């Protein structure tokens, strides 16, 4: 009997109100996250990756957004059904998130030690001194140099890489079962980026976590993910184990993303750019959302939205394409 997924997302549709009408930023998302698995969500900016994570965390701003339908099942509960108090107890404890920009995610007027300890005091019944010692231990775990001396430093006294390590420490303080990492290496230079990726992989194994890793960098994804879901305009257009996706990119958008990666064996004059841009949520195409940018489009592509179908001969590789899915070779 197969082990139940730690997180299951079924038919997730998240909408935002624009000009008095609701428009879907994420539509009919379906995926599962297995225990100890890293699932990467990839795609251009505006494809709905961060909105998916915020929907899971219950952080969609209610003034202009909503989870319109779908299920997000975690530990036998549907998260959109939980009230604010129940979500606050869960968020940061059983499910945690590393946000995209550490400088704006950390409070500039509170010390690093206080901010890490605050997570522990909220979710664990411990004293301030106990929380401080545990905060020190987790800061050492994420390899903050001279952690004891830096507990009372403020965020502006840390470099970008160190601030990101603090964000990781806060997310991992309560040893969550699921970690959402929203482009945690985007603002870092290549050397620090590599260190953070190694650190995340080590901590994931040590704590036995499952992770959703959000990125637009396929090179980063290749080093950390077990499985990849490629998103475009609020939909998953292709999903497969990481090795299979890189060996056999099938959806035209995935193929275009692969071609746009700079390579050392090509000159700068050979750099490939995907023509056009991701459509705004208020003006989505009628059929396949990628059709306006696709060189393979046929008449049906502009009329009907394709389903996400398994490729021929595999039960783990799916693509949303009238031309290549289903009977694709």
**Residuewise pLDDT in 10s, the chain (329 residues):** 568 899 999 999 999 999 999 999 999 999 999 999 999 999 999 999 999 999 999 999 998 999 999 999 998 899 999 999 999 999 999 999 998 777 778 999 999 999 999 999 999 989 999 999 999 999 998 889 999 999 999 999 998 888 988 998 999 899 999 999 998 877 677 787 788 888 888 888 888 899 999 998 888 899 899 999 999 999 999 999 999 999 999 999 999 999 887 766 666 666 788 889 999 999 999 999 999 999 999 999 999 999 999 998 888 999 999 999 854 33
Residue among 76, 74, 79, 32 nearest 58 (CA): 79
CB atoms within 10 A of CB 41: 28
The span from the CA of 51 to the CA of 229, in Å, is 15
Give domain status of residue 204, yes or no: no
- Rounded to two decimals, the pTM is 0.91
pLDDT at 306: 95
pLDDT at 322: 95
Element (H, E) at 258: helix 252-259
* Domain range for 164: 105-173
Counted domains in the chain: 1
Give domain status of residue 133, yes or no: yes
Q: Burial level of 94, CB count in 10 A (0-12/13-18/19+)?
A: middle
Q: Burial level of 162, CB count in 10 A (0-12/13-18/19+)?
A: buried
Give domain status of residue 89, yes or no: no
pLDDT at 329: 38
Give domain status of residue 36, yes or no: no
Give domain status of residue 110, yes or no: yes
Give domain status of residue 7, yes or no: no
The span from the CA of 263 to the CA of 48, in Å, is 27
Two tokens at 25? 């930023």
Residue among 74, 159, 154, 88 nearest 119 (CA): 88
Two tokens at 80? 């959109």
pLDDT at 2: 63
With a CB cutoff of 8 Å and minimum separation 6, the contacts of 163 are 102, 103, 106, 155
pLDDT at 327: 43
Give domain status of residue 128, yes or no: yes
DSSP 151-182: TT--GGGS-HHHHHHHHHHHHHTT--SEEEEE
The span from the CA of 222 to the CA of 35, in Å, is 19
The span from the CA of 285 to the CA of 278, in Å, is 11
CA diameter of the chain? 67
Give domain status of residue 160, yes or no: yes
């Amino acid at each position: 009997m197969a082990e139940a997924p730690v997180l299951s997302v079924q038919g997730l549709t998240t909408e935002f109100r624009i000009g008095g009408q609701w428009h879907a930023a994420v539509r009919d998302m379906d995926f599962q996250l297995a225990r100890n698995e890293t699932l990467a969500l990839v795609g251009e900016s505006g494809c709905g990756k961060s909105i998916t994570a915020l929907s899971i965390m219950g952080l969609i701003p209610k003034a202009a957004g909503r989870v319109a339908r779908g299920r997000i099942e975690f530990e036998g509960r549907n998260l959109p059904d939980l009230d604010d108090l129940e979500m606050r107890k869960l968020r940061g404890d059983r499910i945690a998130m590393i946000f995209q920009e550490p400088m704006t995610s950390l409070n500039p007027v509170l010390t690093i030690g206080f901010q890490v300890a605050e997570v522990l005091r909220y979710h664990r019944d411990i004293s301030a001194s106990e929380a401080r010692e545990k905060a020190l231990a987790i800061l050492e775990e994420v390899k903050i140099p001279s952690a004891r001396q830096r507990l009372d430093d403020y965020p502006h006294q840390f470099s970008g890489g160190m601030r990101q390590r603090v964000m990781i420490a806060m997310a991992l303080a309560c040893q969550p079962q699921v970690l959402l990492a929203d482009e945690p290496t985007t603002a870092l230079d290549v050397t620090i980026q590599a260190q953070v990726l190694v650190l995340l992989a080590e901590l994931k194994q040590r704590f036995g976590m499952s992770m959703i890793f959000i990125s637009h960098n396929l090179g980063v994804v290749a080093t950390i993910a077990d499985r990849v879901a490629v998103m475009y305009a609020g939909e998953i257009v292709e999903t497969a184990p990481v090795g299979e996706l890189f060996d056999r990119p099938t959806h035209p958008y995935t193929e275009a993303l692969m071609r746009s990666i700079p390579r050392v064996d090509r000159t700068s004059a050979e750099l490939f750019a995907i023509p056009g841009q991701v459509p705004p949520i208020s003006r989505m195409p009628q059929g396949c959302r990628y059709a306006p940018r696709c060189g393979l489009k046929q008449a049906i592509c502009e009329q009907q939205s394709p389903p996400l179908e398994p490729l021929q001969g595999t039960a783990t590789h799916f693509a949303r394409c009238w031309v290549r899915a289903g009977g694709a070779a």
